[in-house]
Structure 1
Amino acid sequence: MTKMIQVTDVSKCFANRTVLSHIDFEVAPGEIIGLIGKNGAGKSTLINLMRGLTEPSDGMIKLFGQTPRTKVIKDKIGVMFQDSFGLERVRGNELIQLVRSAYSYPISSLL
């Protein structure tokens, strides 16, 4: 069975600063996990690596058995913003349209 998320020996360095060091975990289909930690612990960096926005310095990340930078993978994942940036004024269908604009599948598949 293909793991939904597979992070193997991932490290990330910026300049001479190590932000993540040898991270390993897997997420099976149907499993739910959470990333918790103090500010500056590397949570956002790990999410950005899994989204394919940046590359790990070492190690490997696979989502659905593929690297995160492929279009197929980018169409399968989404991110919930930490701050609402005024979403209290946005209607539900407007929010769906906003999120849908980032993906290539039809909106009817969301409903």
Structure 2
Amino acid sequence: MKFFASILTTILVMMVLTFSPVVKSADVGALLAGICDNVATDNKGRFRKKLKEAGVKLRNIYDGISCGGEPLVRYAIKSGATSTGEFIVKRLPASHFASSGDAEWAASNGFGDSPIVKAIAER
């Protein structure tokens, strides 16, 4: 009987751990619109809240997000969203910036003195 209970418990735990909720496309659209709006208005608190409500990590979805045709960090630099941009930089691995060319892009487009670019350089 104990063996049966332990097998059943193991199966239930595995089912819970492998469950992933289905994300509706409307939810994804709302998330992306909210992310871009919060970056444009430099609202770091609401940006973090959007990510938390969606249950996603920025590093997992960063490559799939573009706002105004630009990657999220470049959009933050162009929008002057200092606090949100620095938050984004802190949430991404340093190896990302080694190959992204964001700092070089900023320098060539007149944004070289941006605090976000300085945060990238510190990483």
Q: TM-score interval w.r.t. the shorter chain?
A: 0.3 to 0.5
Decide which structure has greater helix share: 2
Q: TM-score, normalised by structure 1?
A: 0.33
Bigger relative CO (Cα 8 Å, ≥ 6 apart): 1
Structure with the higher fraction of residues in strand conformation: 1
